[in-house]
Structure 1
């Protein structure tokens, strides 16, 4: 593995890179855990038989993480998507308003909260791999402090959503309706700030099953009460906001009860004032993570924003929001794999296992590509039927049907790209990837899409094609970066980082 151009094969002897094992602390793990403290690096892969054996073993580890993570991601994403479905049956303006609020206002906030919370994927994941469990709870509480403070600043965007949307060129009717809905959704913003640090805290410990159970219960609650308040009682967008806020806070409260209830062992030792110490260093890593993730999330969300400038904006926004809903649901499979590979990479690098980390990436990419192909085929086959689930408007349904081939292609591409980003998070490369995203997405993809959409009069199709081109370029650049990486060096860096974190945490506990 010392050779940058040798991704899987190595002549090194087994155990050569197990230098991080002395950091590990033996512990009893749940049967669903994919990382086992004290285990060595995988042996060198020299032939197809070795590849097949390790592929099966690594697949089982990944899917033990990815399965519950995918289910959780689908459930949480479906909260907003279900709200849009019910809004679409209230009216086209209501659907457009909810779509704009979800994509522009809540989307901006979600990207910021998720991005800043993703700093814990590197910190907690590598610390857990090295057996430094005491650090996890302190870091989660620091993330709470930072994200709640950030939420106070972001709340201004919710309060002034209507004039902001008017300023950037949205129609007056959509801006007014989305502005009112945004104010109603302020509680969701603070739920984001509490939820994502807890999510990263739990996933670093491979505690996916509990998150899946909470997510499933929240979705069932959300669907039932959305129907009751929006359709049966006729509360409209007000009822939708009440249920959506309540569903997110149900997730927050349930995870908090699980964590403080003593189910996380040494990872949670109670609330501490240490959460307010050394915040600036944590802020810097959180900001780097936020920039990387936000650039990812906002990229396709601005597609709906651009659609608002087209002729017949309400139909264009409504149709594109349906496509983005479906794309979001299908990408949840890749996002679940993103979580799984981030945990696997961070755990294995923290333990000093470079070959295992790199092979895990190979398995994740292959698995996500196959899943993407299957989902795209299902969508193409059902293109005459699924639009009716989202809208009763004939014009909207026809536009969705016309966009289905493009949507299917986008699903395949976007099922692989998040996996590569998960590797970046697990290895701690957020700042580098942020620059890649700026270049590929915002300096290339968006300008190309706008030229194709407006200059060449290709409309939504042209905008979407240009932005997909940016995604393809970004995926190729990430693959090249990962391919040339010296994973032995990354494992050594992770080991040094964990040692430093461990000393800091030990000193903090003694001081406390």
Structure 2
């Protein structure tokens, strides 16, 4: 009799283990369904900027420096604000989709267009007065003049962010983001021949390279418009409506907290690059630091894919009212992303110096990169953790809390420690990087604690209240959401 009971217990344990494996497999498929297209689209978008930089670099070294200045400071600043503000769309659309209120998604999308368009218009002086701003921060006149000229050409490009960022999050929330991946791949494919045509065939120089960048970026936006307006989102897009102009204040509030959260992260790295530029051997320091940042940024594109997946999964399950599924999804997300981070951690350790020669022929720079490879590896590993936690916060609508965490960890800990170690000790660039890691590590630990302490049943209730507040009754029946 005891043997029979023991056999049943063993069988039950195996069944539970099998159920757990099956649950992990099902959850992983849901995660990768969002993450993979997001990674592809972000890598292609980043690639068009890098290709443009390469073309400009063959035109003039001064223009290359000017372009890098605009891209590192101005574009990153504006992109950070708009990306963060667009994450409000991600929160609301994800929760609406999970709750079955799909008709509200189109209204949230239109509201985000209004808010982002107005915001970007207010930020235009950053590009219009680029030369004056760059001279103010101490750049050489020739580089500042080139950067100011190129920044004017960036204006038609940056307006694509108003639509491309928000539409990606709108489609991603309803698991239709594979179209974004396909359009992004096409965008990258046409960008190279366009650049060749304008820069070399038509001999248009810098204007030609920038024109190719703007045209390829708007190709993506036009493709997204065709997909939405052409009837491929029948349940979430009901046409333009005046309802988009209602309740803008709470949307702006959520958007601003999101913008601050993301912008504080993006500008953290830009400030550290500026600090490297004031080292004793500034040319080697900033080159090595920038190479490491490029490697870090490429890997970070994968992490941003998981950030989007975390946001969608958490928002969807909160909208459904399933707090238990939220907790399980977070565990699988962190596990998957950490394994990928460990892979790149080992890769950076093994090929530290060799990676540098993809970017430079200068042995001094390569040696400095090799010296930074251990710190780069730890940065890459942390990249696999904190973006997932940021995505969880966005999915739950906790952007304000994360913005405060980022402000304290990055600007009150990371930058001061980096500056202290970089200038007061003999560590120089390595000291700056140690400060950066200190800020990110502190942020990661804080976000882990926040996630662990969050009452997800309470967040379910808050998500329900948020959706009820913004709800408008539709004249069309809602579909049953069975995609997840």
TM-score normalised by the chain length of structure 2: 0.90
Displacement of 1:473 after TM fit? 0.6
Q: Distance in 1 between matches of 2:301 and 2:329?
A: 19
Partner of 2:473: 506
User: Where do 1:302-381 residues align within 5 Å?
Assistant: 302-381=271-350
For 1:273, which of 237, 242, 259 is the aligned residue? 242
| 1:427 maps onto 2:396 in alignment | yes
| 1:252 maps onto 2:221 in alignment | yes
| 1:282 maps onto 2:247 in alignment | no
For 1:473, which of 442, 454, 458 is the aligned residue? 442
Q: Distance in 2 between matches of 1:147 and 1:167?
A: 28
For 2:420, which of 448, 451, 454 is the aligned residue? 451
User: Where do 1:40-51 residues align within 5 Å?
Assistant: 48-51=17-20
Residues 1:86 and 1:129: Cα distance change in structure 2 (over 3 Å)? same
Residues 1:231 and 1:300: Cα distance change in structure 2 (over 3 Å)? farther
| 1:237 maps onto 2:206 in alignment | yes
Gaps of at least 5 residues in structure 2 are 1-13, 477-484
Displacement of 1:305 after TM fit? 2.2
Task: Say whether the 8 Å CA contact 2:167–2:224 is kept in structure 1.
Answer: yes
Residues 1:231 and 1:392: Cα distance change in structure 2 (over 3 Å)? farther
Displacement of 1:426 after TM fit? 0.3
Q: Deviations over 1:147-166 (max 9, x none)?
A: 11111111101011121122
Residues 1:175 and 1:508: Cα distance change in structure 2 (over 3 Å)? farther
SS of the aligned residue for 2:240 comes to coil
Partner of 2:184: 215
Task: Say whether the 8 Å CA contact 1:76–1:219 is kept in structure 2.
Answer: yes
Residues 1:385 and 1:87: Cα distance change in structure 2 (over 3 Å)? farther
Residues 1:237 and 1:384: Cα distance change in structure 2 (over 3 Å)? farther
Task: Say whether the 8 Å CA contact 2:304–2:387 is kept in structure 1.
Answer: yes
Displacement of 1:449 after TM fit? 0.7
Q: Distance in 2 between matches of 1:477 and 1:48?
A: 32
Q: Distance in 2 between matches of 1:84 and 1:321?
A: 14
Residues 1:94 and 1:320: Cα distance change in structure 2 (over 3 Å)? farther
Displacement of 1:409 after TM fit? 1.9
| 1:409 maps onto 2:363 in alignment | no
Displacement of 1:477 after TM fit? 0.5
Displacement of 1:169 after TM fit? 2.4
Displacement of 1:327 after TM fit? 1.2
User: Where do 1:109-258 residues align within 5 Å?
Assistant: 109-230=78-199, 235-258=204-227
Task: Say whether the 8 Å CA contact 1:92–1:315 is kept in structure 2.
Answer: no
Task: Say whether the 8 Å CA contact 1:170–1:309 is kept in structure 2.
Answer: no
| 1:52 maps onto 2:15 in alignment | no
Task: Say whether the 8 Å CA contact 1:440–1:470 is kept in structure 2.
Answer: yes
Residues 1:47 and 1:130: Cα distance change in structure 2 (over 3 Å)? same
Residues 1:393 and 1:84: Cα distance change in structure 2 (over 3 Å)? farther
For 1:65, which of 26, 31, 34 is the aligned residue? 34
Displacement of 1:455 after TM fit? 1.7
| 1:106 maps onto 2:75 in alignment | yes
Give the CA RMSD over aligned residues. Answer: 2.3
SS of the aligned residue for 1:491 comes to helix
SS of the aligned residue for 2:120 comes to helix
Residues 1:420 and 1:361: Cα distance change in structure 2 (over 3 Å)? same
Q: Distance in 2 between matches of 1:493 and 1:299?
A: 31
Partner of 1:11: none
Residues 1:93 and 1:308: Cα distance change in structure 2 (over 3 Å)? farther
Residues 1:315 and 1:180: Cα distance change in structure 2 (over 3 Å)? farther
Gaps of at least 5 residues in structure 1 are 1-44
Task: Say whether the 8 Å CA contact 1:87–1:94 is kept in structure 2.
Answer: yes
Task: Say whether the 8 Å CA contact 2:168–2:177 is kept in structure 1.
Answer: no
Aligned residues: 463
Residues 1:402 and 1:91: Cα distance change in structure 2 (over 3 Å)? farther
Displacement of 1:167 after TM fit? 1.1
Q: Deviations over 1:97-118 (max 9, x none)?
A: 2222111100000001111111
SS of the aligned residue for 2:433 comes to helix
Task: Say whether the 8 Å CA contact 1:90–1:236 is kept in structure 2.
Answer: yes
